[in-house]
Amino acid sequence: MRKLFTIDDLFIALVAAVGYGFSFEIPKILGYPEWLSIASCLVIGMALEGLEYKIVFSKTVQNKPACRFTAFAVLIIIFFAAVYIATTTGVSILNYVVEQFQFVIIPPILIFAFNMALRQYRIKKIRERYGDGSDGFVFDGQLKQSELDKLNQQNQHIHGAFDNNLAVKTKTGIFVGIKEKNAINFSGIPYAKPPVGELRWKAPEPLPESENVFEAKHLGASAIQVDYDGSILKHHRQSEDCLTLNICIESKRSKRKKPVLVIFHHGDFTYGGSADPLFYGDDFTKIYPNTVGVIFNYRLGVFGFIDFSEVPGGEKYPDALNLGLLDQIAALRWIKENISAFGGDPEQITVMGFESGALSLSLLAACEQAKGLFKRAFIFYGDPMFTYATPETSRNLAKKLLQETATTNMEELMRLSTQRLKDAQQKLVLDLASGPTRDGKLIPADMYTAYQNGAAAGIEFIIGIPSNEKQIYKSLVGEKKYEDFISKEINSIVRFLDDNYPAGAKAVRNYIAEQAASMSELEAKAKMYEQFYTLSTYRCAQNLTAGGNKVYLLYWNVKPLIENLGSGTVDVLATFCGSRKAVELYGNVLNKDIAETLQKLFRKFQSGDELRLFNNEIKGINAIDWKEFPQALIVSEKSFKCEPIADKLTEVKCLLEFLKE
């Protein structure tokens, strides 16, 4: 994707060669000693070359083709004028031209060859570990016991002296982080009271103000969750006391308030958390040097999304239906109130979410309780209409939980141990349906209409759509859960289409039957499900635009390294956060060219700038003009293109009629 050397480099090399030549030969002709001629050559030549680079690669020159060609013309004129002068004075600069071109061409080729060799080595190791990837993500044996022990340490109160350089005072306590490279990381900071004991299944309560001092060196416990085979967090300690967040800042403090990036983790609302290594880039503060990074946990599964309204005593737990969302709002409020202590600007909060995290953000954008808590949002693969329209599903979940635990009322459920509830959740996994409900109170019942009516006003969006996400989900949850999930979702889609668009329902059935002739029925259904969800995510962007929001569309069309592992959430998350080592754990190799380009564009998005790159703003990358919806930035291994993508979303073309509603 990236050019090893550009035409700009070659034109600069012409004039730079002249500068090196004259600055060596003229002192030599004047009789100066050779060492002085060499010194003159280096100082004057390098200064001239640096000046050329500064001019040629300036935004003024690169941003307009006419300015760029004018610069090239000037360089050519300077070169030929210099050649004429050299010829008349007897100075030979041919050797300098050859040397300069060799310097421009050979080192990039050698560096490219080295990087390719290193990449192939990493690919070889990944293929040895994963094979064809048919077993999904595998972490057993990859993590050393010493790493797991370190991962599961807990923060303690500090009663004695502490390092003030690593401490930050918030309204709820003083937290002492740990310095790593050029960053200070604060981990496991509580943002609400622990939802344990009498607070189980209750809305999060704010923490009291405090002057106490706490360690913030170790990750907080992950939420109680389903331990899927492909989830790395099954190795991390879990607890109901999980409402914590992690903050990353530059070790060099600045008086200027910095933008804040808050990440919402993925995980189907039944697994995932802030301890996933995907969220920790090799050098986050280098990628986002002027950003305060935050990621947090929230309640999942039966602890975060369940309706007890039909359970005796359930009237005392009216918020249980969407507790996970209330946790998210509580986290954003804590960040809004306290992030300035970490150098962050509470008025410049950007949120980033993937899968269930993205879906959460799409809901919170129209939630009255979340108004003003964030300004910009990057939503990767999350359509709000794929949440539950009524509490019925969550009520059924409550009934199944009572059956599995042999309980009859809330008093008995409250007495159950955490482990007993976790075991019950694990057994219910194939039938478990746990997630947010558009209850018409916290969340609008019809999100699309809410968007069109301006419910998300004032928020700018990037909405991401992957081309191969279904394999990511399969790799995480395993074959059995995947098959059950896909079958249920296809049945729901067909029922929805039967009621709203019978021709579409017929087309979906025919498509699955046709595809099943060349692949398994499960694969055919999965392919259809992915297309429908992708189309729905596009509709989300469409409705936000109709409501007056500025929306940019991202289409991730990068091929997976291992087909059975897919390419989507994991790779995009690592690309934006720079998690090279983590993405290798997940069976892929980070594409540095794509990562650097998207990170640059995202930094512009955070700042409210136009999403444009001029030629060589990233050396070797052509200009990019990322236009608003319905245009989309299409990302592939070979190029970045900005064009409409509606025709790429589904092979069932009659479903595109939905986009005209």
One-character DSSP codes across 313-368: TGGG-TTGGGHHHHHHHHHHHHHHHHGGGGTEEEEEEEEEEETHHHHHHHHHTT-G
The lowest-confidence range among 173-177, 384-388, 450-454, 527-531 is 384-388
Residue 661 has pLDDT above 80, yes or no: no
Give the amino acid at 659: L
Q: Looking at the predicted structure, is the pLDDT value of residue 660 above 90?
A: no
CA distance 539 to 470: 19
Flag whether pLDDT at 659 surpasses 70: no
CA distance 84 to 286: 47
∠ CA 260-558-128, rounded to 5°: 105
Cα 206 from chain centroid (whole Å): 28
In terms of average pLDDT, the best of 98-102, 258-262, 429-433, 531-535 is 258-262
Q: How confident is the model at residue 141 (pLDDT cuts 50, 70, 90)?
A: low
Residue ranges in 443-568 assigned as alpha helix (H): 447-452, 470-477, 479-500, 502-515, 521-546
Q: Across all residues in the chain, what is the average pLDDT?
A: 90
Q: What is the pLDDT of residues 477-498, one digit of tens each?
A: 887 788 888 888 898 889 888 8
pLDDT tens, position by position, 271-313: 999 999 888 766 788 899 889 999 999 999 999 999 999 999 9
Q: How far apart are CA 553 and CA 626, in angstroms?
A: 9
Which are the contacts of 111, defined by CB distance < 8 A and separation ≥ 6?
none
pLDDT at 429: 72
Residues 239 and 64: their CA atoms lie apart, in Å, by 56
pLDDT value, residue 638: 87
E strand or H helix at 180, and its extent?
strand 178-180
Query: pLDDT-derived band of residue 105, with 50, 70 and 90 as boundaries?
Result: confident
Helix intervals (H) in 140-257: 145-151
Per-residue pLDDT reduced to its tens digit, 183-211: 999 999 999 999 999 999 999 999 999 99
Between CA 250 and CA 257 the distance in angstroms is: 12
Would you place residue 432 in the very low, low, confident or very high pLDDT band (cuts 50, 70, 90)?
low
Q: When comparing pLDDT for 330 and 615, which is higher? A: 330
**Cβ 189 vs Cβ 175: under 8 Å:** yes
Residue from 336, 338, 339, 319 nearest 327 by CA: 319
Q: Which stretch of DSSP H or E encloses residue 295?
A: strand 292-296
Look at residue 484 in the predicted model and tell me its pLDDT.
83
**Side-chain-side CA neighbours of residue 205 (13 Å):** 12
Is the pLDDT reported for residue 144 higher than 70?
no
- Quick one: pLDDT at residue 585? 87
For the four alpha carbons of 398, 399, 402 and 407, in that order, the dihedral sign comes to positive
pLDDT tens track for 60-75: 888 788 888 898 898 8
Question: Is the Cα dihedral 412, 414, 419, 421 positive or negative?
Answer: positive
Confidence of residue 167 (pLDDT cuts 50, 70, 90): very high
- Mind listing the pLDDT tens digit for each residue in 522-544? 999 999 999 999 999 999 999 99
Q: What is the mean pLDDT of residues 127-145?
A: 80
Whole-number Å distance between alpha carbons of 512 and 490: 10
Instruction: Please compute the mean of the pLDDT values over residues 202-226 and round it to a whole number.
Output: 95
Please compute the mean of the pLDDT values over residues 443-447 and round it to a whole number: 94
pLDDT tens readout for residues 318-377: 999 999 999 999 999 999 999 999 999 999 999 999 999 999 999 999 999 999 999 999
Cα–Cα distance, 486 to 527 (Å, whole number): 10
What is the dihedral sign for C-alpha 587, 592, 597, 601? Answer: positive
Fold designation for 131-660: Rossmann fold (3.40.50)
Structural element, H or E, at residue 187: strand 183-190
Name the CA radius of gyration of the chain, rounded: 28
Where exactly are the structural domains of the chain? 7-113, 131-660
> Residue 294: which H helix or E strand, with range?
strand 292-296
Q: What percent of the residues of the chain are helix, what percent strand, and what percent coil, each to the nearest 5?
A: 50, 15, 35
Token pair of 554, please?
Answer: 């991202």
Half-sphere exposure of 17 (CA within 13 A, CB side): 26
How much of the chain, in percent, has pLDDT values that exceed 70? 97
3-state class (DSSP) for residue 195: coil
Q: pLDDT band at 28, cuts 50/70/90?
A: confident
Run of H or E residues at 501:
none
Instruction: Please give the Cα distance from 404 to 438 (Å, whole number).
Output: 27
Q: Could you tell me if 245 and 331 are in contact, meaning their C-beta atoms sit under 8 angstroms apart?
A: yes
Considering only residues 449 and 108, tell me which one the structure prediction assigns the higher pLDDT: 449
